[in-house]
Structure 1
Amino acid sequence: MRVEIWSDIACPWCYIGKARFEKGLAEFAHGDEIEVVHRSFELDPNRARGDIGPVIPMLAKKYGRTIDQAREMEAHVASNAHAEGLGYLADGRDHGNTFDIHRLLHLAKARGRQEELLDLAYRTNFAEERSVFDPEVLVELAVEAGLDADEARTVLGDVDAYADEVRADEREAAELGASAVPFFVLDRKYGISGGQPAEVFTQALEQAWQSHTPALKTIAGDAEACGPEGCEVPR
């Protein structure tokens, strides 16, 4: 069974939601039979490349809050992240356009290293001093994830590389009605929005699994048959 996750590296609830989903998946009896696919979603697609600024003023402007209120918002998110065992810097982080990061994640997907790069990008963005909006930092992360540095630089330097794949993911999200992330789609039958508690993911996986592999219905069971004690002999 497949689970598709639409997310953005700039989204703190995607970071937290991924950790919660993985905990829920670990409690699911058929977890080793689940294929997880990560898909692209930009929260701020109209932001210019290179327009990078601190998170707190951005939040204050976006939500019409004061700087102190924006800090309180980040502190609330940080407490949720810490509760999941995740590092989180509530202040001093950057914000910017994530299109290049998504393109690089598609390269990583093509090379079988998407999960590794995604985890590194989340950790770097939310828990480290390095900025994921610095192309050289992205190359460093690509190498840490097992990708070739030159190939990563080539992709980042070509704005068309993997652009179609990113846009295709975003169109599909719109077609599915996803207007916020994280957005989880289970077996193309069930959708879950937001960084829900781990137990919600476990329950949803169980429900999706039951409809994916319905219980066998016996049509006829009265004819002669063989079992552990032998075969029925007509009289």
Structure 2
Amino acid sequence: MQPGVVSLVVIMDIRELQKAIKDAADCDLTIKVEHRPFLLHPNMDEGKVIDKMTFYREKFGEEKLAQIKQMVSARAKELGIEIGFEGWLCQTIRAHRLLRKAYMLGGQELQEKVLEAIFYAYFTEGKNIADIHFLGELAEEAGVFSKDEAVEFFKSDEYRAEIEQMANEARKKGVSGVPFTIINGRWAVSGGQTADVYTQIFQKLAGKGPLHSIPAAPSCSDSGCPIAAAAAAVKS
């Protein structure tokens, strides 16, 4: 898979997982999802932003970039996702902190509401998702807390150490890219998989089918991805 296509992989995988969860409604399982952090650029300054197109041109060249954009746009259209190529690459620890806060306040529902908003802001609108004022507006719209409270949250160190520890632990356990999903503490699913892969695991958990080998799938391990649900812990 072309490196630039990784910008679509995480969204695709989450959509496929959501579809599989709906399809598993008759499996008599209680499925809970927690999106956890993975920092693709842990050493990047939080205030630094890089123009996406400048970065992509330097990394791939004009000809290859044109091929990547065509491929990404075609696949995104199939999934009903609007992908933009303008905007900013940035450090994402602030966004991960907000996602953690949302999870602690409102569980899976609120966390996924914030996650969808961040994805749309980054992939479609090209927003700087490291900007505390923009994230504050997003947090207020999602119902996490007010914009003023959000700005104070980002100025503090709340959840910073926890996010860094969780991301470091993922790397120590061999996670080198996203998406990466751990199901029931037993199955590690790497890369952007289809709903069928998740469905067969759910059926196996419910005692309703065999588990076949999980195919290799593309993942994001460089700056093509902004923020990612690195380990979606799915518990039955």
TM over 0.5: yes
Cα distance in 1 for residues equivalent to 2:72 and 2:181 = 20
Aligned to 1:107: 101
Cα distance in 2 between the residues matched to 1:129 and 1:73? 17
- The equivalent of 2:196 in structure 1 is 199
Give the secondary structure class of the aligned counterpart of 1:210: coil
Q: Which residue of 1 aligns with 2:77?
A: 82
Query: 166, 180, 187: which is aligned to 1:169?
Result: 166
Q: Which structure: larger Rg?
A: 1
CA distance in 2, matches of 1:137, 1:95: 15
Distance 1:173 1:98, change over 3 A: same
Moved more, 50-59 or 40-49: 50-59
Q: Which amino acid aligns with 2:91?
A: N
Which structure has the higher relative contact order (CA within 8 Å, separation 6+)?
Answer: 2
- Give structure 2 stretches of 5+ with no counterpart: 1-5, 209-236
Residues 48, 196 of structure 1: alpha-carbon distance in 2 compared, 3 angstrom cutoff: same
**How far 1:98 sits from its partner (Å)?**
0.5
- Retained in 2: the 8 A contact 1:44–1:97? yes
CA RMSD after TM alignment: 2.2
**Which residue in the other structure is 1:94 paired with?**
88
The answer to whether the Cα contact below 8 Å between 2:46 and 2:130 also exists between their aligned partners in 1 is no
Within 2, Cα distance between the matches of 1:206 and 1:175?
30
Larger displacement relative to structure 2 (97-106 or 122-131): 122-131
Counterpart mapping for 1:93-172 below 5 A? 93-112=87-106, 113-149=110-146, 150-158=148-156, 160-172=157-169
Matches within 5 A, 1:176-195: 176-195=173-192
Q: Is the 8 A contact 1:11 1:43 kept in 2?
A: no
Aligned residues: 198
SS at match of 2:33: strand
Alignment correspondent of 2:48: 51
Query: Residue 30 of structure 1: CA displacement?
Result: 3.5
Of the three residues 37, 40, 45, the one matched with 2:37 is: 40
Opposite residue 178 of structure 1, the aligned amino acid is V
Mapped to 2, the partners of 1:27 and 1:154 lie a distance apart of: 41
CA distance in 1, matches of 2:63, 2:158: 40
Deviation readout 1:28-78 (Å, 9 max, x if unpaired): 1347610101100011112112221222332344xx421331242233223
Between the aligned partners of 1:31 and 1:136, the Cα distance in structure 2 is 43
C-alpha contact (below 8 Å) 2:28/2:206 kept by paired residues: no
In structure 2, the CA distance between the partners of 1:164 and 1:133, relative to structure 1 (3 Å rule), is closer
Q: Is contact 1:186-1:208 (8 Å) kept?
A: no
**Residues 2-29 of structure 1: CA deviation (Å, up to 9, x unaligned):** xxxxxxxx95311221111111221113
- Which residue type is aligned with residue 173 of structure 2? L
> Structure 2 matches for 1:14-25, cutoff 5 A?
14-25=10-21
Which segment is superposed worse, 103-112 or 178-187?
Answer: 103-112
Q: Is the 8 A contact 1:56 1:67 kept in 2?
A: no
User: Is 1:210 aligned with 2:207?
Assistant: yes
Aligned sequence identity (%): 27
